[in-house]
Every structure is written in C-alpha cells, then in structure tokens.
Structure 1
C-alpha cells in the first residue's frame, strides 16, 4: 500500500493513462472499420448503378433513333428529342469522371504484372501525388539516360556499358507502361498510341540488349547512341515545357487535372508548344532512318543476327505510329482553326 516507492506510483499512473488511450484507439479503429465497410458498400452500389445507367442509355439511344424515323414529327417533338440526344452525349464523360474514384478491375497488363490489386487512388491529393511522381520519374530517368548516352557516345566504347544503357531503357519503358496503366485507372486520359509506343520501345531496347558484339553491332552502335542522345534531349525539353503548359492550362480550368506529359504532340500543346514540332519530326525521321539502315544491314551476306531485322521493324513501327499520330493532331488543329472564323 502506502509504502510503495515513488517510482511505482508514477508507473501505475502512466499505465492507467495508457490504458485509457488504448480504449480510445480501439473505439476509433472500430469506427474506422465500420466506415470502411460502408465505403465498400457505397462503391459497389455506385459501380452497379453506373453499369445499369450505361445499359439503359444504350436502349434509350435506340428508342430515340427509332422515334426520329417515325413520320409526323412536330417541330416541338423534334426539339425535345434533340435535347435528350444532347444530354445522352454528355453522360459518358460524367461517368468517366465518377469512375476515376471507384475501384475497377485491372486490365490484362496490370493483372499480369500486379495481380488483381486495386490501384484506384481514392483522394484527389493521392492521385495528384502519384501523377507528380510519374512526371518526376520520367524527368530524372531521362536526364540519367541523356548523360549515359553522352558518355557512351563520346568517351567509352565498352559493349558492357552499352548493355547497361539498354537495360536502363528497358527498365524505363517497362516502368512507364505500368505507371501509365495505373494512371489510366485513376482517370488520366492518354491517347492509345502514346501508351502503346512505350511497349514497343521496351521491346526494342530488350532486343538491342541481346544483340551480340560484332562487326554489325559496331556499325550501328554510334548511330543508335546518337539517336538515344537526341531522344533523351527532346524528352527533357518536352517534360519541362509540357509540365509548365499543363500547369497553366489546369490553373485556367482548361485541362483535366490528371492529364500527363507525353513523348509526342497532343492538341492541348498547340498554343505555346508548336516550337517543339520540328524537333519531334526530326526524331520521327531519325527512327525511319534507323529502320532503313538496319534493313540495309540485314541484306548483307555476313548478317546472321536476327536482332538486325527485328530492331529495323520496331523502328519502322515507331516511325509510322509517331509520324501519323503527330500529323493527325496537326491536321485536326489546322482544320478546326480554319472552321472557326466561318462559324462566327
């Protein structure tokens, strides 16, 4: 009792305090688990409602089309129908925004790489933070690749270092494809080709990595390193200017918050970034040049390596995809520009 040493009283008081806090932690945690349960129920109910709505909207579109074809539409009826059609058009975008905050099933690629883990980030802050990380990763790795290509091109001729460069390229592009798939699940809109061309680039770098050292490898080496150097330089330029441009457009509310920088050209870059076009087109034609050089090498009698024609094919696909995607954006922009004055 009373003859307890002072130390023990202190310990007991401290313990009592801890016990009370522990009770509180338990209660809070219980509440948290209940909310989590509520949250997942809400998520499921939202997802299934959106699914139902999509189905019914489809039926509605058919109904409207049928009704339009029927005879004897008054002007008022036609106007009502037009109103409904306009509203139907805006729905997919609204659902897209909603789904950016709902868990969805992973596509084939993410399922293969990550399994069926939910990659939807639930708050705007965490989405932003992840997107920001993606942009930083891209910029830092591009700078590393730039330095590496520079060293290999000007100073060091070891096949071993070239292999490290190609391994870095494989790592870079594979990681980008994974991160982009996650960002798409979180509401980023990336044009199909700009994602797909990362898969091809990863494959191309992998094939370059396996190309054995020899006469043919040495013939193509400097051309490839110079190309790598140029690509990294243009990508640095793009990362820098596009992120500034996106930041400005987001502040003005003209761009979606989850839009990303890409290695190519997109319509939102028209104002302020057209100066990048010559750099891009030069890069595209360099890909064509690489492809043609490799095909010419494949014709040589001493060409035994399958890597030569495979790389040639990859460069050709990259050229075609990049060139026509960029041209399509430019054409579409010029067309919409020439139409604007007429409509005013």
Structure 2
C-alpha cells in the first residue's frame, strides 16, 4: 500500500471519529431543542392562565372597592398594587418568549415586496416610458427617505420613553410601519405616513396608464404597477387597522370607572 493511500485511510478514520461525535452532539442538540420548545409552551400557557385570573381578580376588587370600609379599602389598594407588580413581571417574562407576528406580519412582508420592486426597477431598461416615470419615482424616493428618517427618529424616542416607564422591554426594536405602541405624540407623523401611502397608489395608477401606452414594450411597467398597488393596500389598510384599534382601546379606557 502506497504512503498516499495510507494517509487517506488515516484521514478517513479521523473523520469517522469526528462524525460519530457530531452525530452525538446533534442528538443532544435536538433533545435540548425539544425541551426548550416544551418549556416555552408551558411558560406561555401558565402566563396566560395567570393573567386571566389576575384580570378577573382585578375586576372583582374594583366592584368590592365601592362598598368597603377604610381598612378594607387599604387592603384592596394593596392587592391592586401587587397585581400591577405581577403584571410587570409577566411583561418581562414574555420578552424572552416567542410571539406571534400580528399587525407586524405585513411589515415583515413589506420588506420582501420592496426588495422585489427594487429588483424589477433595476431591470427596467432606459427608454421613453422609463423617462416618463423617472422624475416621479425620484421625487417619491426622496419623500420616502425623509419620512423614514422622521419615523425612525420618532420610534426611537417612543421606545426610549416607554422603556424608561417599564411599558416596553429592552429587546424591542424600531420597525417599519406604524405600531400601536407609537401612538403618543403621533399627530405630526401620521399625515406623512398616509401621504406616502397614497403616493404609492398614485405611482400604481401612473404605471397602469403607462403600461397601456402604445410605445410600452417592457413587462416591468405592469409588474411595477401591480407591486405599488400591493404596497399601498398593505400599508394603508394595516396602518388604518392599527389606528382604529387604538381609538377603540382609548374609548374603552375612557368608559371605565
């Protein structure tokens, strides 16, 4: 047997030993992963159960508070404070547990749709149809960049304030779009967001008209029009849904005694 073949055989045996170790490590990894998933499910269900009972208890205490003596009122107040403290603990616990996407599901999808739009835009060849839309698109891009800067600056301030108050956790990030926790002080930003949404609709209408132009030969025009329409519908309806939900929540709080 040649020296080179012997060296290959030694390397194979070394790799075989490492492979056995890798299989064992991977088995342990899967076991720990299953244990982690089970613990996450257990924690989430236990927290939900505790929060439901605390909510019922809080309502009961509010009803009892109207017909209590001074000494009993102090006890009710103490229990209410304990409930609030317990809810804060649950809030911190939930920061490390998996969450459903919710109103955020669209904003994640929005990134993929925008990436697709950018790719199609880059493949659109220069021509008379492209030149008709070019200035409008550049103006939209500049406006969108300004709105994103204002949005980031506003979201950062909201997160800093809410973290300081203990209403948000330190793992929260600023995201594109409008979230319910951004409600306070949003009066100046909301018109810019809706203006950007309707500008996307305007881009879609313009591109649909250009796609029916007699000089139009590019497939990108119709695809871009459809993509802008999807962005408008997703952005506008999601933002509108969040605003409506927040208004309903505020009305509900105002009706509470």
TM range, smaller chain:
0.5 to 0.7
TM-score scaled to structure 2, two decimals? 0.66
- What is the distance in 2 between the residues matched to 1:271 and 1:248? 10
The structure-2 alpha-carbon separation of the partners of 1:286 and 1:45, relative to structure 1 and needing over 3 Å to count, comes to closer
Specify whether residues 200 and 49 from structure 1 end up closer, same or farther in structure 2 by C-alpha distance, changes over 3 A only: closer
1:282 matched to 2:195? The reply is yes
Q: Which runs of 5+ in 2 are unaligned?
A: 1-27, 57-86
Distance in 2 (alpha carbons) for counterparts of 1:220 and 1:205: 15
Count of residue pairs brought into register by the alignment:
196
Corresponding residue for residue 321 of structure 1: 234
User: C-alpha distance in 1, partners of 2:187/2:91?
Assistant: 28
Once the two structures are superposed, residues 28-69 of structure 1 have per-residue CA deviations (whole angstroms, 9 ceiling, x without a partner) of: xxxxxxxxxxx97995474154267389x69xx9xxxxxxxx
After TM superposition, the score normalised by the length of structure 1 is 0.50
Matched, 1:53 2:8: no
2:155 is aligned to 242
Q: Which residue matches 1:296? A: 209
Calculate the aligned-residue CA RMSD, in Å: 3.6
Equivalent position of 1:258 in the other structure: 171
Taking the aligned partners of 2:213 and 2:36, their CA distance within structure 1 comes to 58
* 8 Å contact kept, 1:50–1:95: no
Structure 1: segments with no counterpart, 5+ residues: 1-38, 62-81, 101-183
Matching of residue 215 in structure 1 with residue 128 in structure 2: yes
- Secondary structure (helix, strand or coil) at the match of 1:274 reads coil
Q: 2:117 aligns with which of 199, 204, 224?
A: 204
Question: Relative to structure 1, is the Cα distance of residues 247 and 40 closer, same or farther in structure 2, using a 3 angstrom cutoff?
Answer: farther
| Closer, same or farther: CA 288–45 of 1 in aligned 2, 3 Å | closer
Using the alignment, how far apart are the partners of 1:257 and 1:282 within structure 2?
31
The Cα shift of 1:190 comes to 7.7
CA distance in 2, matches of 1:312, 1:291: 4
Using a 3 Å threshold, how does the CA distance of structure 1 residues 85 and 218 change in structure 2: closer, same or farther?
Answer: same
Q: Is the 8 A contact 1:188 1:260 kept in 2?
A: no
